[in-house]
Copies of this chain bind each other. A is one copy, B any other.
Amino acid sequence: MAEIEEKTEIELEYESLLVHLREEHIDTFRDVFFNLHNYEQSEFYLELEEEDRQRMYQFLSPEEVAEFFDSLELDPEEFEVLFDTMDARYAAEMLGAMQYDNAVDILSEVSKEKLTSFLTLMEREDAQEIRKLMNYEEDTAGGIMTTEFVSVTSLMTVREAMRHLKNMAPNSETIYYVFVVNKDRKLAGILSLRELIIADDDAYIGDIMVERVVSVRVSEDQEEVARIMRDYDFLAMPVVDYQDHLLGIITADDIMDVIDEEASEDYSRLAGMTEIEPASDSSFSTAKKRLPWLIGLTFMGMITAAMLTTFEDTLAQVAVLAAFIPIIGGMAGNSGTQSLAVAVRGIATGEIKDTSKMKLALRETGSGLITGLVCGLILFGIISLLYRSPILGIIVGVSLLIAMTLATLLGTLVPLVMSRMNIDPAVASGPFITTANDIISMLVYFSLANAFMSYLL
């Protein structure tokens, strides 16, 4: 029994497989290789050096390679490199044998010339299906659906449907749902394989199918599709056009990737990045990706600096004021980021609807007021004791209270307003909110300090 924890065991297996490959024991290699799961095959393949991959292409047919290419997870640039060394005809056949939705994912990342060459070399039927799917926007239901599904008509009996299913199984991405269409290919119902198996063999599909089908339009956003599939716990979902014609299906494994992708996107944005760079990236390419954000933030930071410079006289008179700049700015930043995170995730998961936006803004501001009061009191206490200046304690404490309250309000309002304007609220990154809060909190702090200057001297 293969236990996944015993990494060494599977690594040993890969090693001996590599020996078979290099010594060209074709039959042994094929035996051992096909005993692996597709994911393991892809893992083995990814670790190979170029010349070993070339050998593998000789030992395996394009269709056999397609099997594990379906579970291959690579970054866009890596596919481009990979196809540079694969014979174009072989690659085209392999892509045609893949599940269409996966082939489309890969082909939308390669250069235009490669795409054209692959589609020309591919079997006509496959090329046609792939071309059709490539027309849909990447982030929509159409962009992630596949056309390899099992459909039956309502006039079939369960026995006939099962026989049809058996024939279609090898070329369908899932057989666990059967989609029922009427004669003009409009979606009329759905049956899970479970229901089909329990049903009487002579029953008509039309009599036992579920007519209340939850479907998505082909242009629906993939995030919305993911939400529906998760809520309903579906393993697959039909995609229809505006006339309810069945165009394709979306399966649970694709949706897992979408959920992950979207969550990872929100996460990166909170950290002020466009993406979590793959570990294989170099320092240079990482720096290149992060610089646009960081340069923007440098300029925003200069606004804070310029504003603080106008308070130079105040600072020169009471230099100790500067000591509390980081804590006031920092705490405002923390509170603002917390509110931002709540609003961004609430909008993403659909928990926050239009009606509850006002409520959330009030809740967050209230929470900012309470936490600001508690932290402000703590600061007041510490400063009164340590610096023996209650007035300094009051100025810093009150500034903190006001800064944290405003920060929570800003942290909530910015994503809510953005989502109202149909901008992805995740773009309002954590660092952006933090820097904006720096400016506000410094303005509050030094205005207060200026007002009470006479008591401080």
Contacts and interface: CB of A to CB of B under 8 A. Distances in A.
Contacts of A423: none
A334 B294 contact: yes
B198 A434 contact: no
Interface residues of A, number: 132
Looking at chain A's contact residues, is the secondary structure mostly helix, strand, loop, or mixed? Answer: helix
Given A270-B270, A435-B330, A367 B290 contact: yes
A214 B438 CA distance: 52
B271 A337 contact: yes
B5 A217 contact: yes
Interface string A293-335: 1110111011011101100110110011111111101110111
Contacts of A87: none
B214 A382 contact: no
A345 B176 contact: no
A223 interface: no
A228 B40 CA distance: 11
Contacts of A320: 309, 312, 315
Interface string A155-191: 0000000100110011000011000000000010000
Contact of A283 (B260, B293, B367): B367
Interface string A246-271: 00000011011001100110111011
B430 A337 contact: yes
Given A198-B169, A259-B256, A430-B271, A305 B319 contact: no
A64 interface: no
A232 interface: yes
A12 interface: no
A289 to B, nearest CB: 9
Contacts of A333: 330, 333, 431, 434
Contacts of A270: 267, 270-271, 341, 430
A221 to B, nearest CB: 11
Contact of A327 (B71, B267, B304): B304
Nearest to A293: B334
A48 interface: no
Interface stretch (A90-98, A105-113, A122-130, A273-281): A273-281
Given A283-B366, A304-B326, A327-B302, A345 B276 contact: yes
Contact of A295 (B36, B294, B364, B375): B375
Contact of A442 (B277, B326, B371): B326
A362 B273 CA distance: 19
A231, A313, A319: most-surrounded residue (chain B CB, <10 A): A319
Nearest to A441: B326
Contacts of A286: 363-364, 366-367
A391 interface: no
A379 B435 contact: no
A67 interface: no
Contacts of A71: 231-233
10 contacts: A1-B244, A3-B215, A170-B198, A271-B341, A272-B337, A276-B346, A277-B342, A283-B364, A287-B367, A295-B374
The 6 closest A-B pairs by CB, nearest first: A283-B366, A301-B327, A271-B341, A322-B322, A287-B370, A308-B323
